[in-house]
């Protein structure tokens, strides 16, 4: 079949060339359109359901909103687990779906359920589906600034002008406001005056609610004209509210202004924004799932330019986080690496081939191959990011291999033919024949090499969890690139060779590079064949050295990506007030901006932006520190040093200075569940009891060998002020509990009664007691509760008021509250799965013996990263076995004997150890990236050995040497024959990776560890292929000879 393809391609040369030109154009458009982001989204597929219930405690949110909501949402198809968090004023339900579920499909399933689930939730709790964006969606942050404008004015501009206009930009899912104050009409009631006028608070509420409406009353006709009738009555200003009448007493109206003061003030807030010590307001733009961030940000910036003309004088929109920079930097790193790779590869080919046309033909593989992978990426929905582009980058060196083999072979054929015919140049007919013959000859091996590389990558495809999401795109693109290269090599290159390999071709043997190589190789291989033991010892030594280095190396999950911007995230302990946190943030921002010349700007956010994707509590500050270009830095300043200095200079007691990076942090913040290898979940209904049980489990697990600091979650407290209504007392005055609660809600908490309609803007109107009459426990005692008999009873006489400690947040999973025990495991000492089995046994024993009591309704579940490891292992091991056996089968089919397989497999450990030694020298840690690098290495490590072995077999078939010397001579001859192509393919692979190894830009820290195993491994693998393999082969042949002689 391959031969047919090659033949028909050579027949229809014009069509082939035209087809590939079209492919190139298609590739370019795909490249332009493909969504580009810095890193792939490694978060789980989760749909957020967000419940907003302002002012309510975590307990209330959990009991009245989140619990009924989660019960309703359970059983949504495709859902793995439903987790929820109830915090002050809001709750979030995380619905985690199975990997591979379609995002929008999952959303519509949740939406279906939500309708039903909402029915048991209080009416005033706003339950919404989160935006159709993921943690990676926060691509752009900006502040709205302007001298001479106060924060509520700026916030109004942001809320009513900027926000909706930016939301209209294609690809934007949501624009959330943060910081500043929302304007609010505040009616502050003086309870003493209520008492004096004998007015009840609900009269005030009623009157305000009924005094804010515009109506329509159809039309009337007059003189053939229709008039539309309107009743106007919207509140427009403070005076409108002040003059609302509550009631009239003895003919005199009592207005709101008689019992309350009306002002415009800030609404209660749970977030603030600060720039260099000055409070500002701003917003965050969430990009829709699957969009192209570069395009979206570009459109946003255009929109901002359009908007800016319409802003009030002096007001401007200033971005303070822009993903473009990072994306461009990381893509540029890879782009430069790719271009450098292509050039270096071409250069290397040119040296080996010493023929310009030939080199040009081979190098065609690279740009077209890359473009083909872009087409496939676009078609199959693989986004461009450092991982997927990295896949192409590590493929470059291998991609040219097939091209090299084919073109080299055609070259040889033409040259030999010309020499045989004794002409300087062949006719085009002859050339075509030689092209066909040359391509056909190696067509199969080329396809075979491609298959082994792709099959070698199967284990990467089955990776699950974060590793899977991170490396699958890479596996895809590498496969795409390889497939593309194969297609080009088989279809386009023979045709191009026909056009370019004309004129006089110097025979390969006369090539200067070949001569130089041969001159070096000959003495080495001859010596080696005579000193087989020493070679064996060296090989064993290399393996031993590699094993020693491996034992010194550390492990990590993923080399961290340098995002450029820093995220300084100081946190305070639960209970910290917004004012206290604000003070810390302001001071730190001033210091960061003023004392570090490296800092361009520092904008801090405390608490939440008003989006479900930001669940940060008030006690958490997130300051985005944007650094200037490296050339403006002080001398000798490094990123690490800067981080250290910022942490030192802003050190405050009680504040933990955590330094992270914006994207990384967003992903971490939205990750739920257990992040340690092993976790024990204790489910139950009573928070205190489950914590007790969890603590006992912690103690049991502590004694299990291999456990590192098991830790049971404590209840993290924050102060509550509880008003417990005394039902007997309430009954004495004839007051219903609900009436008292209503008073508590309005008088203490303040309640938005209605919303003004002022053009496009809308502001809440709220009623509350005067601040000083409700902000201390003593004042709360004086809240009046009107009774049916017309009395006004202070709250203290109807309820017990007390300060207590309560939970700061309540977490639950699948509707049950739970407490977690986190366990790290020393995996050098004991395997994860063995550890879990051991720990489970011990806990079960304690339960059986009654040491650990589980009340009815309480149970224990085991979870953690070991689950995904188990899952991975379940798939990884079979896939590794399948991959290996398929490769071996293919090899067996190629050679049809086990001896060759044995010789080939010796190359693998040598290659592995070479990679490890290089990693050790470069001080990299073992990470999944490194393993992926190794998998890539195995695909190519034995390629040359295969070719060499087949050559050896062929030669030995042709003539059977009778003496040891002859055997050795023949082996040397075969080695010399394969030396040039072998060196060419390995050199292209190794040298092509050098730009990646030398890259310093964003994203290089992930790529380097991935490239090193291939570079290091190929160095040793080449040595093994060119020396160890011939040595072993000759040893086997010599033994055979000896045996046959003995027999004879």
Partner 1 sequence: MLKQNNNYYLRLLTIFLCLFLITSCSKNQADKSLQVGQPGKEKISYYTCGMHPSVKMSPKEYKDGQVSCPICNMGLVPIYKESQDKSSHSQERVLFYRHPDNPSITSLSQYQGGEKFIPVYESNQGMAAFYGCGMQGAEHVFLIQDVSEMTCPVCGMDLIKLSKQDADQLVGVVARVNIKGQEAQLAGVKTHTVDKVNLYKEIRTVGKVAYDPDLAITEEEFISSLVALDKMKDSSIPEIKDRALNLLKSAKRKLKLLGLSDQQIKELEESRQVHTSLILPEEKMWIYGNVYEYELGWLKPQSKVKVTTSSFSGQEFFGIVASVNPVLDPKTRSVTFRAQVDNPDLKLKPQMYVDVVISTAYLSPRGELMVLGVPKRAVLDTGVRKIVWVQKSDGLYEGREVKVGPEAVTEVNGEKIKFYPVLKGLSQGDLIVTKANFLIDSQSQLSGSASSAYGGAIGQEEPKGSQTN
**Residues near 298 by Cβ (< 8 Å), separated by ≥ 6?**
324
142 vs 161: CA distance, rounded Å = 14
**Residue 777: CB minimum distance to partner 1, A:** 8
Residues 112-171 that bind partner 1 (CB under 8 A): none
With CB under 8 A as the contact rule, the residue among 265, 574, 749, 764 that binds partner 1 is 574
Contacts with partner 1: how many residues (CB under 8 A)?
107
For 633-662, letters b (16+ CB in 10 Å) and e give beeebeeeebbeebeeebeeeebebebbbb
261 binds partner 1 (CB under 8 A): no
Q: Are 93 and 127 in contact (CB under 8 A)?
A: no
With CB under 8 A as the contact rule, the residue among 189, 485, 730, 793 that binds partner 1 is 793
Q: Which is nearer to partner 1, 6 or 572 (CB)?
A: 572
252 binds partner 1 (CB under 8 A): no
**Residue 657: CB minimum distance to partner 1, A:** 6
**What are the backbone angles phi and psi of residue 793, rounded to the nearest 5°?**
-105, 130
- According to DSSP H, which parts of 488-636 are helical? 493-500, 512-530, 532-552, 578-595
Binding span for partner 1 by CB under 8 A among 316-324, 394-402, 696-704, 938-946: 696-704
Q: Which is nearer to partner 1, 139 or 620 (CB)?
A: 620
**Residue 291: CB minimum distance to partner 1, A:** 27
With CB under 8 A as the contact rule, the residue among 67, 924, 931, 1035 that binds partner 1 is 924
959 binds partner 1 (CB under 8 A): no
- CA 633 to mean position of chain CA atoms: 30
Binding span for partner 1 by CB under 8 A among 56-64, 155-163, 401-409, 567-575: 567-575
39 vs 24: CA distance, rounded Å = 26
Residues 316-355 that bind partner 1 (CB under 8 A): 351
Structure tokens at 863: 């979870």
Binding span for partner 1 by CB under 8 A among 133-141, 214-222, 374-382, 646-654: 646-654
Our CA dihedral for 507, 508, 513, 519, rounded to 10 degrees, sits at -110
Binding span for partner 1 by CB under 8 A among 43-51, 264-272, 702-710, 935-943: 702-710
Residues 350-379 that bind partner 1 (CB under 8 A): 351
Q: How many CA atoms does the CB half-sphere of 200 hold within 13 Å?
A: 16
851 binds partner 1 (CB under 8 A): no
557 binds partner 1 (CB under 8 A): yes
45 vs 25: CA distance, rounded Å = 35
Residues 576-635 that bind partner 1 (CB under 8 A): 576-577, 580, 583-584, 587, 591, 619-620
- According to DSSP H, which parts of 354-464 are helical? 356-380, 386-421, 428-456, 458-461
1045 binds partner 1 (CB under 8 A): no
With CB under 8 A as the contact rule, the residue among 132, 589, 614, 1005 that binds partner 1 is 1005
Binding span for partner 1 by CB under 8 A among 227-235, 282-290, 652-660, 884-892: 652-660
640 binds partner 1 (CB under 8 A): yes
Q: Tell me whether strands 784-786 and 566-571 are parallel, antiparallel or unpaired.
A: unpaired
Q: Are 171 and 133 in contact (CB under 8 A)?
A: no
**Residue 932: CB minimum distance to partner 1, A:** 18
Q: Which is nearer to partner 1, 193 or 899 (CB)?
A: 193
Interaction mask 510-549, partner 1, x per CB under 8 A: --xx-xxx-xx-----------------------------
**Residue 573: CB minimum distance to partner 1, A:** 4
- For 824-839, give the DSSP string: EE-TTTS-HHHHHHHH
Q: Which is nearer to partner 1, 113 or 820 (CB)?
A: 820
**Residue 217: CB minimum distance to partner 1, A:** 40
**Dihedral sign (CA 937, 938, 942, 946):** negative
Radius of gyration of the chain (CA): 37
**Residue 344: CB minimum distance to partner 1, A:** 10
Binding span for partner 1 by CB under 8 A among 326-334, 426-434, 796-804, 954-962: 796-804
439 vs 498: CA distance, rounded Å = 11
With CB under 8 A as the contact rule, the residue among 271, 494, 559, 975 that binds partner 1 is 559
Structure tokens at 26: 């298609």
195 binds partner 1 (CB under 8 A): yes
998 binds partner 1 (CB under 8 A): yes
For 1015-1031, letters b (16+ CB in 10 Å) and e give bbbbbbbbbbbbbbbbb
With CB under 8 A as the contact rule, the residue among 713, 739, 813, 867 that binds partner 1 is 713
- Helix, coil or strand: residue 817: strand
1043 vs 1048: CA distance, rounded Å = 8
564 binds partner 1 (CB under 8 A): no
Residues 436-495 that bind partner 1 (CB under 8 A): none
408 binds partner 1 (CB under 8 A): no
243 binds partner 1 (CB under 8 A): no
Residues 762-791 that bind partner 1 (CB under 8 A): 773, 776, 778, 781-782, 789-791
Q: Are 259 and 178 in contact (CB under 8 A)?
A: no
Q: Which is nearer to partner 1, 104 or 998 (CB)?
A: 998
- For 239-272, give the DSSP string: HHHHT-EEEEETTEEEEHHHHEEEEEEEPP-SEE
Nearest to 873 by CA among 933, 832, 837: 832
**Residue 459: CB minimum distance to partner 1, A:** 23
- Helix, coil or strand: residue 715: coil
Neighbours of 447 (CB within 10 A): 16
């Amino acid at each position: 079949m391959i031969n047919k393809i090659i033949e028909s391609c050579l027949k229809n040369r014009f069509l082939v060339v035209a087809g590939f030109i079209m492919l190139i154009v298609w590739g370019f458009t795909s490249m332009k359109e493909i969504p580009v982001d810095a890193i792939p989204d490694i978060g789980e597929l989760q749909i957020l359901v967000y419940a907003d219930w302002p002012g309510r405690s975590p307990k209330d949110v959990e009991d009245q909103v989140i619990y009924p909501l989660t019960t309703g949402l359970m059983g949504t198809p495709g859902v793995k687990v439903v987790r929820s968090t109830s915090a002050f004023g809001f709750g979030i339900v995380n619905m985690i779906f199975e990997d591979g579920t379609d995002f929008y499909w999952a959303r519509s399933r949740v939406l279906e359920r939500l309708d039903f689930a909402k029915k048991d939730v209080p009416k005033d709790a706003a339950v919404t589906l989160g935006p159709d964006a993921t943690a990676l969606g926060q691509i752009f942050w900006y502040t709205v600034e302007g001298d001479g404008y106060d924060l509520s004015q700026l916030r109004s501009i942001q809320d009513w002008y900027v926000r909706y206009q930016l939301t209209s930009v294609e690809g934007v899912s949501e624009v959330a406001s943060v910081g500043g104050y929302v304007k609010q009409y505040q009616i502050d009631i003086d309870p003493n005056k209520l008492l004096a006028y004998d007015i009840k608070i609900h009269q005030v509420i009623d009157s305000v609610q009924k005094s804010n409406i515009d109506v329509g009353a159809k039309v009337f006709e007059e003189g053939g004209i229709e008039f539309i009738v309107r009743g106007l009555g919207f509140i427009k200003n403070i005076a409108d509210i002040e003059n609302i009448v509550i009631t009239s007493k003895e003919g005199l109206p009592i207005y709101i202004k008689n019992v309350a003061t009306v002002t415009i003030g800030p609404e209660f807030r749970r977030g603030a924004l600060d720039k260099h010590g000055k409070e500002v307001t701003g917003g965050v733009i969430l990009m829709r799932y699957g969009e192209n961030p570069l395009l979206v940000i570009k459109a946003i910036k255009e929109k901002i330019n359009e908007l800016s003309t319409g802003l009030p004088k002096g007001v401007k929109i200033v971005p303070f986080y822009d993903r473009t920079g990072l994306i461009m930097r990381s893509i540029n790193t890879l782009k430069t690496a790719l271009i450098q790779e292509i050039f270096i590869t071409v250069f290397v080919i040119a040296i080996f081939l010493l023929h310009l046309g030939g080199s040009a033909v081979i190098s065609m593989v690279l740009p077209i191959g890359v473009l083909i992978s872009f087409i496939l990426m676009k078609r199959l929905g693989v986004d461009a990011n450092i991982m997927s582009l990295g896949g192409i980058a590590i493929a470059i060196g291998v991609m040219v291999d097939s091209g090299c083999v084919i073109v080299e072979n055609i070259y040889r054929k033409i040259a030999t033919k010309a020499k045989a015919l004794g002409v300087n140049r062949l006719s085009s007919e002859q050339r075509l024949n030689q092209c066909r013959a040359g391509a056909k000859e190696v067509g199969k091996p080329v396809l075979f090499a491609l298959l082994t590389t792709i099959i070698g990558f199967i284990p990467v495809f089955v990776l699950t969890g974060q590793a899977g999401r991170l490396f699958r795109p890479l596996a895809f693109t590498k496969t795409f690139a390889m497939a593309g290269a194969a297609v080009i090599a088989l279809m386009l290159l023979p045709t191009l060779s026909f056009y370019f390999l004309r004129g006089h071709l110097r025979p390969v043997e006369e090539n200067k590079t070949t001569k130089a190589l041969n001159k070096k190789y000959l003495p080495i291989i001859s010596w080696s064949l005579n000193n087989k033991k020493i070679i064996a010892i060296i090989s064993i030594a290399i393996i031993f050295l590699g094993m020693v280095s491996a034992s010194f190396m550390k492990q990590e999950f993923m080399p961290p990506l340098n995002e450029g911007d820093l995220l300084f995230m100081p946190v305070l302990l639960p209970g910290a007030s917004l004012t206290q946190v604000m003070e810390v943030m302001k001071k730190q921002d001033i210091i960061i901006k003023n004392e570090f010349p490296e800092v361009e700007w520092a904008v801090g956010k405390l608490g939440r932006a008003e989006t479900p994707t930001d669940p940060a509590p008030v006690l958490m500050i997130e300051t985005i520190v944007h650094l200037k270009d490296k050339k403006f830095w002080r001398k000798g300043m490094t990123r690490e040093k800067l981080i250290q200095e910022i942490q030192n200079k802003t050190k405050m007691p009680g504040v933990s200075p955590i330094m992270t990076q914006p994207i990384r942090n967003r992903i971490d913040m939205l990750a739920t569940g257990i992040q340690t290898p092993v976790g024990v979940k204790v489910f139950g209904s009573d928070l205190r009891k489950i914590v007790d049980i969890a603590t006992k489990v912690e103690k049991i697990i502590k004694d299990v060998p291999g456990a590192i600091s098991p830790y049971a979650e404590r209840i993290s407290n924050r102060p509550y002020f509880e008003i417990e209504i005394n039902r007997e007392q309430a009954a004495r005055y004839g007051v219903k509990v609900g009436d008292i609660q209503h008073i508590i809600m309005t008088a203490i908490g303040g309640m938005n009664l209605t919303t003004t309609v002022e053009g496009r803007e809308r502001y809440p109107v709220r009623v509350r007691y005067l601040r000083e009459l409700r902000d201390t426990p003593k004042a709360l005692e004086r809240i009046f509760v009107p009774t049916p008999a017309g009395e006004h009873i202070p709250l203290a006489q109807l309820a017990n008021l007390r300060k207590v400690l309560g939970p700061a947040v309540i977490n639950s999973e699948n509707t049950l509250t739970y407490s977690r025990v986190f366990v790290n495991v020393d995996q050098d000492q004991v395997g994860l799965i063995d550890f879990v089995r051991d720990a489970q046994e011990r806990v079960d024993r304690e339960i059986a013996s009654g040491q650990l009591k589980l009340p009815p309704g309480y149970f224990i579940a085991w979870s953690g990263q070991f689950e995904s490891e188990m899952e991975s292992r379940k798939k990884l091991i079979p896939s590794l076995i399948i991959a290996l056996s398929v490769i071996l089968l293919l090899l067996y089919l190629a050679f049809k004997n086990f001896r060759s397989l044995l010789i080939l497999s010796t190359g693998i450990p040598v290659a592995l150890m070479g990679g490890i030694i290089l990693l050790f020298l470069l001080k990299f840690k073992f990470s999944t990236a490194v393993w992926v690098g190794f998998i890539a290495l195995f695909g190519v490590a034995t390629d040359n050995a295969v070719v060499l072995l087949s050559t050896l077999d062929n030669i030995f078939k042709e003539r059977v040497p009778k003496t040891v010397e002859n055997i050795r001579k023949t082996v040397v001859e075969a080695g010399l024959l394969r030396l040039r192509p072998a060196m060419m393919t390995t050199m292209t692979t190794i040298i092509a990776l050098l730009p990646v190894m030398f890259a310093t830009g964003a994203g290089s820290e992930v790529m380097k560890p991935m490239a090193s195993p291939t570079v290091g491994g190929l160095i040793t693998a080449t040595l093994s292929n060119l020396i160890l393999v011939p040595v072993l082969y000759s040893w086997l042949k010599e033994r055979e000879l000896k045996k046959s002689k003995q027999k004879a």
